[in-house]
Structure 1
Amino acid sequence: MSDTTMSEAATVVRRFYDTLSTGDLTVVDEVLASGWEAVPALSADGPEGWKATVAYLRAALSDLELVIEDVVVDGDRVAVSSTCRGVHTGELLGVAGTGRQVEFSAIDVHRLEHGRIVWSRHLEDHFGLAHQIGLTFTPTS
């Protein structure tokens, strides 16, 4: 794994997630490469995109907490299973705050180079989250 050990890789990725619970964005520039790519893409590229996402989620979900369930390191890849919890107090997915406690899961795979995350693939339970804040879906024919 280039110049990063498995333990160091897991630590870097854990610090990436800490920003959601703490709101401390100073860590972002330490753990993300300047050309970090998120898939699916965020509203902005690189670390600024992650900072904007953290700010958005922390504004939408008070008492936001991210719990890492599992971390698996394989070479330059780190896979993470996580659960986010918070109170829906601000706009989220186009829905004004409901005051409801929400919880949703995510799976991410990160690729590291030289001790920083250069690429992340994110899959989140948007359907479950949408249902918790009152969105409904009607099948179309």
Structure 2
Amino acid sequence: MTIKNLALSAAFVSVAGGAMADDTATVQKFYDLLSNPTSQDHVAAFEASVSENWESIGDYSGSSKSSEAFLGQIGGFGKLIPDLEWSVQAMHQAGDFVTVRSRATGTPVGPMFGVDGEGRSFDIMTIDIHELNDGKIIRSYHVEDWAGALQQLAGR
């Protein structure tokens, strides 16, 4: 490879790399909502960051949640777990996908998934993959360790 070709290749990589949008700020709004599920400002920021047909996918059952269903579920979590904190531990973007490892902690004020935690707290790992198009999240795949949370709440 000649020096000229090497310089052109480096310039192309630089331009191509600079053209890719940084979608991490958009994805962060998702976690800001999870930590503040009763805040109308965070709900509005979430709604602005997701596409009209956004899907929340948590398993391979073929079903998904719409943003409306997701907001209903998260609102319920906000009442059940008023100190819910969903902190991002690592975020990595590759093309149109942003992968997030986060930590969810909280102390439910009532039974959670049938387990009365008696004032106990949980601390779990979550993994999410957000797919974006034109600066909006179109789909979020997620896995949370709710079984671990229930074990912690049950005192095991």
What's the TM-score once normalised by structure 2's chain length?
A: 0.75
47-56 or 64-73, which moves further after superposition?
47-56
9-18 or 48-57, which moves further after superposition?
48-57
Partner SS for 1:35: strand
Q: What RMSD, in angstroms, separates the aligned Cα atoms of the two structures? A: 2.3
Are residue 95 (structure 1) and residue 95 (structure 2) matched? Answer: no
State which structure, 1 or 2, has the greater radius of gyration over its C-alpha atoms. 2
**Aligned residue among 39, 58, 62 for 2:57:** 39
Name the counterpart of 1:14: 28
Name the counterpart of 2:83: 63
List 4+ stretches of structure 1 deviating above 4 A: none
Structure 2 distance, partners of 1:135, 1:116, is 40
Q: Larger helix proportion, structure 1 or 2?
A: 2
Q: Please list every run of 5 or more consecutive structure 2 residues that lacks an aligned counterpart in the other structure.
A: 1-16
Name the counterpart of 1:5: 21
RCO higher in structure (CA 8 A, sep ≥6): 1
What's the TM-score once normalised by structure 1's chain length?
A: 0.82
The number of residue pairs the alignment matches comes to: 132
Are residue 76 (structure 1) and residue 90 (structure 2) matched? Answer: no
Distance change in 2, residues 1:90/1:114 (3 Å): farther
14-23 or 96-105, which moves further after superposition?
96-105
Name the counterpart of 1:106: 126
